């Protein structure tokens, strides 16, 4: 859903624009830069000295929304940095607001708790990774090995481009405890479905139905340990091997090695 | 072992406390050495790598199914213990991977096998065990062994050899 200019987008549930919602930057830029007629202050807003008072930002529904959107972004960025540096269990809401440089009360306008904030960050990262890999596969075209190569290449690039985010979600995710499990299951399931749709008949028909989940689960923990090592270029060096491992069950070792280069 | 079990129960109940690091390490070491002793015992009679892998996988499945609190501690709860738990788990995976990589000795061209093959196989087993512990209706590990063995053997000996693991025994 794309929010419209001039419309209050709080939605039926009363929630603000979601973090992972596509926001048309151009529309906002046009809105922010547009020439507006000078504000005419009603007599009640004029001070005793006759000086005009500032209009309150919250007075305009879209202004408030833009501010809220940016606040939420800052909180999530702050949470990412704090959790990546100190670990989920060591981080308190106070650390997140300090890292985001916002007042504590704003945190609670967006999130009910630290866990709620972390889940928003996790969902956003998972959605972005899935969308990027999916798009890479779609634009790559070609045969199944080419799709897998394109998907894994983009996944590694995504991780490399924001190590703090990867660390916060991949390494600290399991530290959250039971509550993360449905999200973890969804993440593995979504990527497994993508792999399944890409192979579409390629590979032995006698393969178990869950083979994609097992392959993707293995990839996840291999990336987990690679991130834990914190060695630069470790992920890039792992890329061809991940391609090979993902393909072997479906196309055989020789074709998998060929695709991995 | 009773000390380790008492700590595991405590850990599951109230989580990791920094001041309990020595108890965490003691419990971990006790479980890890018991696990590797079991693996050595079941692999002692195996004449080739695949036989050893099957025996080790079956023993692992038995331990996972029969000793859930200990499994949870090693696989799931340790990840909540910060760097100490993660480091212990990484070392355990590394140790398992080194054992698994013995498959290279039976290959004509071991250099053709990627260096991360053993960690990859361990990661797949780990994932299945992790989900067995965290997902309520996850299938038992025994039922997943043919698939895991297929993937492990395919990674070293090729898909054709690996597929034999999926055939019914009779």
According to DSSP H, which parts of chain A are helical? 25-33, 61-86, 93-100, 104-110, 114-140, 144-161, 163-166, 181-199, 211-229, 234-251, 253-260
- Indicate whether A180 pLDDT > 50: yes
Contacts of A87 in chain B (CB under 8 A): 82-83
Q: Which of B11, B109, B120 to mutate to test the interface with A (most CBs of A within 10 A)?
A: B120
CB-based contact A217 B127, cutoff 8 Å: yes
| pLDDT given at position A64 | 82
Q: Which residue in the set A87, A206, A210 is minimally distant from B166, CB to CB?
A: A206
> Smallest Cα–Cα separation from A226: which of B156, B130, B94?
B94
B144 CA to centre of own chain: 13
Taking CB atoms and an 8 Å cut-off, how many pairs form between chains A and B?
A: 104
Min Cα separation A134/chain B (Å): 23
Contact (CB, 8 A) for A71 and A54: no
Q: Which of A171, A210, A224 to mutate to test the interface with B (most CBs of B within 10 A)?
A: A224
CB-based contact A218 B120, cutoff 8 Å: yes
DSSP secondary structure letter of residue A52: B
Report the alpha-carbon distance of residue A252 to residue B155 in Å, rounded: 9
The mean-pLDDT minimum among A22-36, A110-124, B18-32 falls in A22-36
> Smallest Cα–Cα separation from A117: which of A109, A159, A129?
A109
What would the two tokens of residue A66 be? 């833009």
CB-based contact B147 A257, cutoff 8 Å: no
Listed by number, the residues of chain B in 60-119 with a beta carbon closer than 8 Å to a beta carbon of chain A are 76, 79-80, 82-83, 86, 90, 93, 112, 114-117, 119
- Global pTM reads 0.83
DSSP secondary structure letter of residue A21: S
Report the alpha-carbon distance of residue A204 to residue A251 in Å, rounded: 8
Q: Which residue in the set B112, B116, B126 is minimally distant from A238, CB to CB?
A: B116
Mean pLDDT of A171-190: 94
Q: Which residue in the set A89, A222, A244 is minimally distant from B82, CB to CB?
A: A89
Contact (CB, 8 A) for A96 and A110: no
| pLDDT given at position A4 | 41
Domain enclosing residue B22, as ranges: 2-166
Burial class (CB in 10 A: 0-12, 13-18, 19+), A69: buried
| pLDDT given at position B18 | 87
3-state secondary structure of A92: coil
| Segment B101-147, tens digit of pLDDT | 999 999 999 999 999 999 999 999 999 999 999 998 899 999 999 99
- The long-range contacts involving A8-17, CB below 8 angstroms and separated by at least 24 positions, are A8/A61, A8/A62, A8/A65, A9/A65, A10/A65, A16/A65, A16/A68, A16/A69, A16/A72, A16/A110, A17/A65, A17/A68, A17/A69
Q: Kindly indicate the confidence band of residue A56, based on its pLDDT and cuts at 50, 70 and 90.
A: low
Min Cα separation A260/chain B (Å): 11
- Indicate whether B78 pLDDT > 70: yes
CB-based contact B80 A89, cutoff 8 Å: yes
**ipTM entry:** 0.93
Percent of chain A scored above 90 by pLDDT? 59
Mean pLDDT of A146-164: 95
Question: What angle is formed at CA A106 by the lines to CA A100 and CA A109, rounded to 5 degrees?
Answer: 130
Structural domains of chain A, with CATH: 1-45+56-111 (1.10.10.60), 116-260 (1.10.357)
Question: What angle is formed at CA B83 by the lines to CA B77 and CA B87, rounded to 5 degrees?
Answer: 80
Contact (CB, 8 A) for A221 and B126: yes
Contact (CB, 8 A) for A217 and A233: no
Instruction: Please check whether residue B151 touches A, CB under 8 A.
Output: yes
| Segment B10-58, tens digit of pLDDT | 998 888 888 999 999 999 999 999 999 999 999 999 999 999 999 999 9
| pLDDT given at position B75 | 96
Helices B49-66 + B141-157 axis angle, to 10: 150
CB-based contact A222 B120, cutoff 8 Å: yes
| pLDDT given at position A60 | 61
Interface of A with B (CB under 8 A): 87, 89-90, 171, 174-175, 177-178, 181, 184-185, 188, 204, 206-208, 210-211, 214-215, 217-222, 225, 228, 238, 240-241, 244-245, 248-249, 252-253, 257
Min Cα separation A20/chain B (Å): 27
Phi, psi of A53, deg, nearest 5:
-90, 160
Cβ neighbours around B111 below 10 Å, total: 7
Mean pLDDT of A166-180: 94
Contacts of A185 in chain B (CB under 8 A): 131, 135
Question: What angle is formed at CA B122 by the lines to CA A256 and CA A190, rounded to 5 degrees?
Answer: 65
Mean pLDDT of B50-67: 97
Report the number of distinct structural domains present in chain B: 1
């Amino acid at each position: 859903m794309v929010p419209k200019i001039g419309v209050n987008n709080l939605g039926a549930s009363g929630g603000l624009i979601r973090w992972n919602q596509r926001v048309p930057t151009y529309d906002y830029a046009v809105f922010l830069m547009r020439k507006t007629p000078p504000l005419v202050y009603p007599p009640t807003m004029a001070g005793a000295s006759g000086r005009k008072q500032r209009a309150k930002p919250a007075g305009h529904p879209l202004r408030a929304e833009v501010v809220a959107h940016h606040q939420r972004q800052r909180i999530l960025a702050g949470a990412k940095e704090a959790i990546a540096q100190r670990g989920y269990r060591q981080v308190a809401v106070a650390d997140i607001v300090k890292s985001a440089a916002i007042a504590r009360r704003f945190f609670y306008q967006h999130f009910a708790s630290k866990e709620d904030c972390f889940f928003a960050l996790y969902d956003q990262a998972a959605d972005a990774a899935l969308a990027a890999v999916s798009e890479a596969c779609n634009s790559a075209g070609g045969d199944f090995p080419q799709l897998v190569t394109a998907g894994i290449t983009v996944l590694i690039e995504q991780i490399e481009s924001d190590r703090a985010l990867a660390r916060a979600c991949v390494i600290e995710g399991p530290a959250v405890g039971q509550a993360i499990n449905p999200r973890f299951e969804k993440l593995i399931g979504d990527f497994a479905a993508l792999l399944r749709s890409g192979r579409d008949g390629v590979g032995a028909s006698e393969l178990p139905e869950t083979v994609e989940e097992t392959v993707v689960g293995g990839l996840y923990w291999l990336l987990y340990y690679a991130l834990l090592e914190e060695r630069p270029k470790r992920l890039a060096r792992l890329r061809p091997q991940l391609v090979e491992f993902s393909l072997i069950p479906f196309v055989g070792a020789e074709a998998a090695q060929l695709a991995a280069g | 072992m009773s000390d380790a079990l008492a700590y595991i129960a405590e850990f599951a109940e109230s989580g990791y406390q920094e001041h309990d690091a020595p108890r965490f390490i003691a419990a971990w070491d006790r479980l890890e050495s018991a696990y590797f002793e079991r693996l050595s015992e079941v692999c002692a009679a195996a004449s080739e790598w695949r036989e050893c892998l099957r025996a080790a996988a079956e023993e692992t499945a038995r331990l996972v199914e029969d000793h859930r609190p200990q499994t949870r501690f090693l696989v799931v709860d340790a990840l909540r213990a910060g760097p100490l738990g993660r480091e212990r788990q990484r070392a355990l995976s590394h140790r398992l991977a080194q054992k698994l990589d013995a498959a290279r000795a039976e290959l004509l061209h071991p250099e053709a096998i990627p260096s991360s093959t053993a960690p990859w196989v361990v990661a797949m087993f780990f994932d299945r065990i992790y989900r067995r512990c965290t997902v309520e209706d996850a299938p038992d590990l025994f039922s997943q062994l043919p698939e895991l063995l297929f993937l492990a053997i395919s990674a070293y000996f090729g898909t054709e050899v690996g597929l034999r693991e999926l055939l019914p025994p009779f």
